A and B are shown apart, each in its own frame.
Chain A
């Protein structure tokens, strides 16, 4: 592995805009992380009792109204925002305020802090599910009579992993009726609610970001890859600052179904799920979904310094790799695969830090047993005997797995921890396997370099090194 080091623009984090079940912005999230609270409980936004896991971390309706964070002139557009888009818009508002940036949305009458053409935007997104009531109301109008009498054909109940249906199964919708009439029940802009790039499109319109803008769709690795791209864009001098991160809400029928099929969720077995996510525990049984994500303001050091911005952390190292997935999708992992450890290694070389200089690690930490094992193996390989002593920062037991948004929560917590020189509390894990990951209260700690990693379904891995500015 050759690493080319060309002197490049330094890049820092100047604003944190996580959005999580604890609320909008870094303050409610950080307070909960310090106090060791979880937002995971039985899902109430829908009846999820038909799924093996009926718990989730929901952002309560009274804690966030997207209409309150968009300019009056843009309120109409909130009607075509899927939940994922609302979350990204809320996060972006929190991020620009935390960074004390003047944007078009904050004040349209003064010069923006970052000129529009120098303002980029990279927001990770997942596969956005169509709002099921709206779509089904339309579909129901095109049911043939026979299907109105027997809504579901009887099928043998078998192991859910075995394919029992295929696309040749008869369509319960009369497509002739749908094409000529039924589809008219969908609003004309229906498709635009669900395109993944609409997170970034709305955010760039609201804040007038006309620089490079992208939408990374790599599941749980999306945010970290987005931040890496923002760093590249700033270093190639195509922008001075970027709104960067991601958001997702899988707390809906299709989202939970696909996570169930992906064997990623812990069965709740009648509990409220508040203590079942146990990252790196020998008895871990899976993860729980949350809704949220975040936007981070990634900015050139020179412009940040010139405007006296808060410097939460410098992004000194970044690397991305791809795991070998024997099953092509990453439900199975190859125990000998070294890609995740390679990403950690390369990010540290890129940052010019040695493994012994890393003071904390913020991994994915999902409680999904085989992903936990892969992370443990990588950390052990890279850090050797020190692996058991480096404090681990976990967030998923608190906020749930926000999928395409999870990386921004991890990054925001890590950056805040560095700025506060404080390790947040850890929950639930009592039998950590070889890592410093057992439940523990928050405590002050010298944090000069933090390694943040992401690994998503599908096998994309990312490692980012944060350095304390001034250290």
Chain B
């Protein structure tokens, strides 16, 4: 193993060799990137169920996605829910870009999976039917026997089996013949960032040569939208939905739900080189912390996010206060893909955390939120944002935070407002913070 194929600590370097996504802005890298560069918005009225009277009636919904184009035999995945369909679409793109379909002698025992995938979509009408069948108004309880009789009759067995959050794993393993280590984590909005970070660790330890990693999720169903509405976490700008997701704006009033999947192929640089694959970027650093504060609120000073960012920088060997020698003068991180949900709390605390870590450099590091354009993909958000970082490096362009019309006097970083921007960028940082206080940060660098 040549020295350039290992990190300073002697572990194998890990690179991204394939990427793919299915998002509210489109189903391939080029289309979505183009739309992000144009500042397009993927929001529309929810029409997957009757949501017209909900406090929030809109979301960034995926329409007309046909997963059958992405799999060898669609009948194998006949019971796949939306979460699994999106995952299959994104994973196929990544697999193809990494040329793994043509890889001869790929040892599938050395190919693993680490996803941050969400659960399936509940069959709400039949679930409600069973609940009402068992309901006893007098006791305000559900009669188990009546419930069982109704549910055994009306619910679809295979749809129910497919609900567990590890089922996307099983479908991807089946589709691509993967039999190495397989994990699914579900740390709310941080899940797929954490999945990629842990997948990288597995590769660095030599437990696999290739990892398919990323996330997939949809909560655009009755109880999912209900749950977020009750938490009052969502924007309620029903009359101005195209401008509702406005991270870092003074008038931001909550996030906008999205759905979709992002997948990457990670492999050791050695393995990529041996099979002649083209590395797109290197994963340099990963940091993961818990707030250990409250299930409902972030720690007000951004303690957990700041520590996650610091841990990722340490692993990457990057000093947040240093800059490149003049005349370059840039900080060593040149773009931050913000968690940037558009809630009052997140955007303010994320800003504090970035300033705490980067000090004087913070104002010179552009930080934008693509959630302004495609909504919040929940468990899948982190992977999609990581891919965005790699595309930013490839294209030397930064995606904007759209709908940022009224700057918040307390939020004084460069959020790349409204318009995409050309930039010299080689190293990016991506943040994801989950409900309940799970914080994860990744750092990627372009190949020299």
Contact = CB atoms under 8 A, between A and B. Distances in A.
Interface residues of A, number: 118
A47 B152 contact: no
Contacts of B50: 171, 175-176, 179
Contacts of A162: 157
Given A213-B289, A325-B173, A457-B164, A186 B51 contact: no
A251 to B, nearest CB: 11
Contacts of B34: none
Contact of A175 (B49, B173, B435): B49
Interface stretch (B227-235, B259-267, B272-280): B227-235
B146 A139 contact: no
B408 interface: no
Q: Looking at chain B, what size class is its interface with the partner chain?
A: 35 or more
B133 A48 contact: no
A91 to B, nearest CB: 17
Contacts of B281: none
Given A133-B142, A179-B51, A257-B148, A164 B123 contact: no
B319 interface: no
A80 B52 CA distance: 29
A163 B160 CA distance: 11
B186 A197 contact: yes
A53 to B, nearest CB: 11
B374 to A, nearest CB: 22
Contacts of A102: none
A339 B182 CA distance: 11
Nearest to B81: A167
Given A155-B154, A188-B230, A232-B205, A50 B146 contact: yes
Contacts, number: 351
Given A200-B290, A210-B289, A210-B304, A217 B165 contact: yes
A326 B73 CA distance: 12
B219 to A, nearest CB: 9
Contact of B128 (A139, A219, A323, A458): A139
Interface string A317-346: 001111111101111000000010010000
Contacts of A440: none
A136 B294 CA distance: 28
Interface stretch (A201-209, A268-276, A356-364): A201-209
B311 interface: yes
B292 A49 contact: no
A152 interface: yes
A326 B174 CA distance: 7
Interface string A89-111: 00000000000000000000000
A132 B131 contact: yes
A245 B291 CA distance: 20
Contact of A191 (B153, B230, B304): B230
B152 A257 contact: yes
A155 B133 CA distance: 13
Contact of B198 (A48, A196, A229): A229
A140 B289 contact: no
Residue in A167, A186, A459 with the greatest tally of chain B CB atoms within 10 Å: A167
B393 to A, nearest CB: 26
B314 to A, nearest CB: 10
A152 B186 contact: no
A458 B169 contact: yes
A46 interface: yes
B65 interface: no
A322 B179 contact: yes
B144 A214 contact: no
Given A171-B125, A210-B304, A216-B185, A195 B179 contact: no
A322 B173 contact: yes
B55 to A, nearest CB: 7
A305 interface: no
Contacts of A147: 132
Contacts of B147: 50, 132, 253
Interface stretch (A119-127, A290-298, A367-375): A119-127
Contacts of B401: none
B157 A197 contact: no
Contacts of B165: 127, 196, 217
A319 to B, nearest CB: 7
Given A139-B132, A208-B292, A325-B174, A161 B157 contact: yes
B135 A136 contact: yes
B128 A163 contact: no
Interface in A145-161: 147, 151-153, 155, 157, 160-161
A162 B135 CA distance: 26
Residue in B11, B157, B198, B226 with the greatest tally of chain A CB atoms within 10 Å: B157
A254 to B, nearest CB: 8
A163 B230 contact: no
A224 B431 CA distance: 28
Interface in B50-77: 50-55, 76-77
B250 to A, nearest CB: 25
A50 B54 CA distance: 35
Contacts of B164: 126-127, 217, 219, 258, 457-458
B294 A210 contact: no
Interface string B202-229: 1001110000000000000011001111
B201 A232 contact: yes
B194 A214 contact: yes
A238 B153 CA distance: 50
Given A217-B166, A218-B166, A458-B164, A48 B148 contact: yes
B76 A4 contact: no
Contacts of A436: none
B167 interface: yes
A385 B308 CA distance: 50
B426 interface: no
Contact of A322 (B143, B169, B207, B438): B169
Interface in B116-142: 119, 123-135, 137, 140-142
B66 to A, nearest CB: 17
A180 interface: yes
Given A172-B132, A195-B436, A217-B185, A238 B109 contact: no
A190 interface: yes
B206 A4 contact: yes
B8 interface: no
Contact of A253 (B151, B180, B184): B151
Sort A-B residue pairs by CB-CB distance and give the 10 closest, nearest first.
A50-B148, A191-B227, A201-B436, A4-B206, A47-B144, A179-B53, A322-B182, A261-B157, A213-B290, A320-B181
18 contacts: A50-B148, A132-B147, A135-B131, A167-B125, A173-B124, A180-B53, A183-B226, A189-B230, A196-B165, A210-B303, A214-B185, A216-B183, A217-B184, A218-B166, A257-B148, A329-B167, A342-B179, A459-B170
Given A152-B133, A200-B290, A216-B183, 9 more contacts: A143-B132, A167-B124, A201-B290, A210-B290, A218-B169, A238-B311, A253-B144, A256-B148, A261-B161
